[in-house]
């Protein structure tokens, strides 16, 4: 896993390494990343836990509406609070208090860990033990926000989150999740009890693994609709031999490429 960012040790690839290969025992890592995308324009590099609580919990609550399982644990007091908020049992202020108290217990510590080791770059510093109680964004994080790849991080993170949710929902390891591609919608789907379940965009899911580059020529590609460099979703082993390889439409055989390949 470390080779993913060590081969091309850019800030973008360190960040993608966290999203794609960091430990997943709960979805909090994805929610924290999504919250940081929103707070990237902050005039202050220090973000208090109170500031972080609203966007962090909102992303968790939104995902809970579609996927009730957001952790591998049997129970979570924080997730119960999020569910209670969705049901109208508690208000936003109460949810924020519960998020500050319970929501950040492990995710801030573990965010930079990939394959049981901390990556070489830090995008924030844990300052929960200071008087302010929060995190401090680093210069590397702000440089990351200035990269051409930054706008694609949100859809990439959501796509990865949805794939993990689907595996948890089915009670299987992520690498055993059978995911297929819909050529018309450019989306990914799986089947639960013979029922087709749409997951996420094929482009959004694949782009992070390919580091925003064409699989064949390594030029920069885009996942933004309407962009001149919008990537095509291509079958590495041609679709024409589907009678020989029945699972040829699986995600394992999909790559992103410049249009025209």
Does residue 145 register a pLDDT over 80?
A: yes
Backbone angles phi, psi at 111, to 5 degrees: -55, -40
Give residue 153's pLDDT band: very low, low, confident or very high (50, 70, 90): very high
Does residue 1 register a pLDDT over 60?
A: no
Rg (the chain; Cα; Å): 19
Helical H segments across the chain, by residue range: 3-6, 11-21, 28-38, 49-66, 77-86, 92-98, 107-110, 139-145, 150-170, 202-207
CA 130 distance to own-chain centroid: 29
Give residue 240's pLDDT band: very low, low, confident or very high (50, 70, 90): confident
Residue with tokens 């796509």: 159
Q: Quick one: pLDDT at residue 16?
A: 95
Segment among 62-71, 98-107, 183-192 with least mean pLDDT? 183-192
Does residue 172 register a pLDDT over 70?
A: no
User: Do β-strands 195-201 and 232-235 pair in parallel, antiparallel, or remain unpaired?
Assistant: unpaired
Which residues neighbour 139 within 8 Å (Cβ) at sequence distance 6 or greater? none
Instruction: State the average pLDDT for the chain.
Output: 90
Mean pLDDT along residues 51-71: 95
- Work out the percent of the chain whose per-residue pLDDT is above 90: 64
Does residue 242 register a pLDDT over 60?
A: yes
Q: What is the DSSP string of 62-120?
A: HHHHH-S--BSSS--HHHHHHHHHHTTSS-HHHHHHHIIIIITTTHHHHTTEETTEE-S
125 against 193, higher pLDDT: 125
Query: Half-sphere exposure of residue 158, counting CA atoms within 13 Å on the CB side?
Result: 18
pLDDT tens string 118-132: 999 999 999 999 888
Q: Quick one: pLDDT at residue 190?
A: 87
Q: Quick one: pLDDT at residue 173?
A: 63
Q: Quick one: pLDDT at residue 34?
A: 98
Q: Quick one: pLDDT at residue 197?
A: 83
Which residues neighbour 88 within 8 Å (Cβ) at sequence distance 6 or greater? none
With contact defined as beta carbons under 8 Å apart, do 205 and 160 qualify? yes
Q: Quick one: pLDDT at residue 46?
A: 96
Q: Quick one: pLDDT at residue 8?
A: 75
231 against 72, higher pLDDT: 231
Q: Quick one: pLDDT at residue 193?
A: 67
Does residue 155 register a pLDDT over 90?
A: yes
Q: Quick one: pLDDT at residue 199?
A: 85
Q: Quick one: pLDDT at residue 243?
A: 75
The structural domains of the chain, with segments of one domain joined by +, span 3-145, 150-257
Give residue 178's pLDDT band: very low, low, confident or very high (50, 70, 90): confident
Q: Quick one: pLDDT at residue 241?
A: 80
Q: Quick one: pLDDT at residue 174?
A: 63
d(CA 105, CA 239): 47
Q: Quick one: pLDDT at residue 100?
A: 97
89 against 42, higher pLDDT: 89
Does residue 137 register a pLDDT over 80?
A: yes
């Amino acid at each position: 896993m470390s080779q993913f960012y060590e081969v091309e040790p850019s800030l973008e690839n360190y960040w993608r390494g966290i999203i794609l290969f960091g430990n997943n025992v709960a979805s909090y890592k994805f929610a924290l990343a999504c919250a940081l995308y929103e707070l990237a324009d902050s005039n202050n590099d220090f973000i208090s836990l109170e500031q972080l609580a609203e966007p962090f919990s909102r992303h968790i609550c939104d995902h809970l509406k579609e996927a009730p399982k957001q952790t591998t644990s049997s129970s979570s007091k924080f997730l119960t609070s999020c569910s209670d908020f969705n049901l109208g049992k508690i208000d936003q202020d109460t949810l924020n208090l519960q998020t500050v108290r319970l929501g950040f217990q492990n995710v801030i510590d573990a965010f930079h860990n990939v394959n049981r080791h901390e990556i070489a770059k830090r995008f924030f510093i844990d300052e929960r033990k200071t008087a302010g109680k929060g995190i401090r964004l680093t210069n590397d994080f702000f440089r990351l926000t200035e990269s051409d790849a930054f706008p694609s991080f949100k859809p990439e993170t959501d796509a990865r989150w949805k794939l993990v949710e689907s595996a948890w929902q089915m009670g299987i390891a992520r690498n055993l999740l059978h995911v297929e591609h819909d050529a018309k919608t450019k989306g990914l789907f799986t089947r639960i009890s013979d029922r087709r379940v749409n997951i996420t965009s094929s482009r959004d899911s694949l782009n992070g693994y390919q580091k925003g580059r064409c699989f064949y020529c390594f030029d920069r590609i885009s996942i933004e609709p309407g962009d001149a460099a919008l990537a095509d979703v291509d079958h590495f082993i041609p679709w024409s031999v589907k009678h020989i390889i029945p699972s040829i439409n699986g995600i394992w055989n999909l790559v992103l490429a410049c249009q025209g390949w």
